Chains A and B, each alone.
Chain A
Amino acid sequence: DIQMTQSPSSVSASVGDRVTITCRASQGIRSWLAWYQQKPGTAPKLLIYAASTLQTGVPSRFSGSGSETDFTLTISSLQPEDSATYYCQQANNFPYTFGQGTKLEIK
């Protein structure tokens, strides 16, 4: 199975900060990567697919980049509502796998 490793596991940042979360795949996955945001008690929300395509309705402060094994999710100017856990997910090989999550807190 492809292992997806996110870093950091948790991060605390201030409103207006630029925040970057990384996701590393144990083998190349081309651009078959998605990013999700999950708030407590709710289903995940798709932010980015195909590594860098912004899902309709997602604010433009979110962006994704990378290919093969190294990917990043960037929030350009952190907002209070961005407090959540973020997951990456690969869809290149079965079984599809998620990263362990990155918990983002607002200072």
Chain B
Amino acid sequence: VQLVESGGDLVKPGGSLRLSCAASRFIFSDYYMTWIRQAPGKGLEWISYISDTGGYTNYADSVKGRFTISRDNAKNSLYLHMNGLRGEDTAVYYCARGQYSYAYWGQGTLVTVSS
């Protein structure tokens, strides 16, 4: 199993960003996928998940209405579209495989929100 995140960058408050997670070495369309983030020096925060077909999603209150999770099973890819970014969104963002617990994680991609 391999998960590789990309798209992290320095962005100004109020800006937008799209993170990607490229999955390989497993049947991507069989699994729920999740985004989890970790602010610098802080703990883990679950932020969103998406069902295997993409038909069901759920979000943490801290990102609801600003972030959108999506997937393209034909491309074995997971996405996180982030709008209205705030300083408190600064974190390493991980994609992880699974619905309830996460045995496989990517290496993370850093999003920094600062003017």
Contact = CB atoms under 8 A, between A and B. Distances in A.
A94 B99 CA distance: 11
Interface in B39-78: 43-46, 49, 58-61
Contact of A44 (B49, B100, B102): B102
Given A34-B100, A98-B45, A43 B105 contact: yes
A43 B105 CA distance: 6
Tell me whether chain A's interface is mostly helix, strand or loop, or mixed: loop
Contacts of A49: 100-101, 103
B94 interface: yes
A36 B103 CA distance: 9
Interface residues of B, number: 19
A97 B106 contact: no
Interface residues of A, number: 22
B16 interface: no
Given A1-B61, A34-B100, A96 B46 contact: yes
21 contacts: A1-B61, A38-B44, A43-B105, A43-B106, A44-B44, A44-B105, A46-B101, A46-B102, A49-B101, A50-B101, A55-B103, A87-B43, A87-B44, A89-B44, A89-B101, A96-B46, A98-B43, A98-B45, A98-B46, A99-B43, A100-B43
